Amino acid sequence: MKQKNTFHPALRIIHWLMAAAIMAMLFMGVAMVSTVSSWHSLLVAIHKPLGLMILLLVIVRLWLRFTTAKPALPATLPGWQKGLAHLSHWALYAMMLAQPLIGWAMQSAAGYPITLGNRVLPAIFPVSNDAYAVLRPLHSWVALALFLTVMLHLAAALFHGLILRDGVFSSMAGLSKRKGGAPGSLDNPHGGQ
């Protein structure tokens, strides 16, 4: 596959859409488990279809990831950092796939159907109080791990964009990687001068 300076446009759009959706889901999840107010049912009604959307988007994203060219990490990046970058990306993909599936299985185990509009989706796990007792905290633990990994991913992106200015940030922002970073991007220390 030909090497590029930026990720495929569809991959970039899905990345940013998922970033917003995942952050919304994480904060919504915290709000859902910490309130019994009238907001609870609205949050649940948003949380379930948004989780399904994230599941579909991560499947499309993985397909795009395997079928489109992607920019190489900078040659100046130490091997251990490249390894950590790859590990963190695959951890994110695993959690982005697992979390909605765990949520769906948890709802199935509790006997609560997942609906999308007027359509009831099939249960993916048999009704079981014992399974629910395992899946419920697992959903919370994976959410916490996902949140921490997203925060590390964000910190690394900002480090590349603001400190190293090596083009890594601009490759997902959609800006061409140039010497010193793209003009006007976080990767360019001089704003294109």
Domain at 141, CATH number: 1.20.950
Split into its structural domains, the chain has a count of: 1
Angle, alpha carbons 12-14-15 (nearest 5°): 60
Is pTM, for the whole model, over 0.85?
Answer: no
Q: Is residue 190 part of a domain?
A: no
Give tens-digit pLDDT for 1-45. Answer: 456 778 888 998 999 999 999 999 988 888 888 877 788 888 888
Give tens-digit pLDDT for 44-72. Answer: 888 999 999 999 999 999 999 999 988 88
**74 lies in which domain range?**
9-173
- 191 or 73: which leads in pLDDT: 73
**CA pair distance 167, 9, nearest whole angstrom:** 16
The secondary structure of 130-163 as a DSSP string is HHHHHHHHHHHHHHHHHHHHHHHHHHHHHIIIII
| pLDDT score recorded for residue 185 | 45
Q: Is residue 31 part of a domain?
A: yes
**DSSP secondary structure letter of residue 162:** I
Q: Is residue 180 part of a domain?
A: no
**CA pair distance 63, 10, nearest whole angstrom:** 11
**CA pair distance 106, 123, nearest whole angstrom:** 10
Residues 106 and 136 sit within 8 Å (Cβ to Cβ): yes
Q: Is residue 4 part of a domain?
A: no
> Which residue do the tokens 């916490």 mark?
144
Using alpha carbons, list the distances in angstroms from residue 156 to 25, 84, 174. 22, 11, 17
Look at residues 122, 11, 123 and name the one whose alpha carbon lies nearest to residue 57.
Answer: 11
Structure tokens that stand for 63 in this block: 């397909």
Integer-rounded Cα Rg, in Å, for the chain is: 19
Q: Is residue 156 part of a domain?
A: yes
Structure tokens that stand for 88 in this block: 């963190």
Q: Is residue 189 part of a domain?
A: no
Q: Is residue 33 part of a domain?
A: yes
Q: Is residue 191 part of a domain?
A: no
Give tens-digit pLDDT for 144-159. Answer: 999 999 999 999 888 8
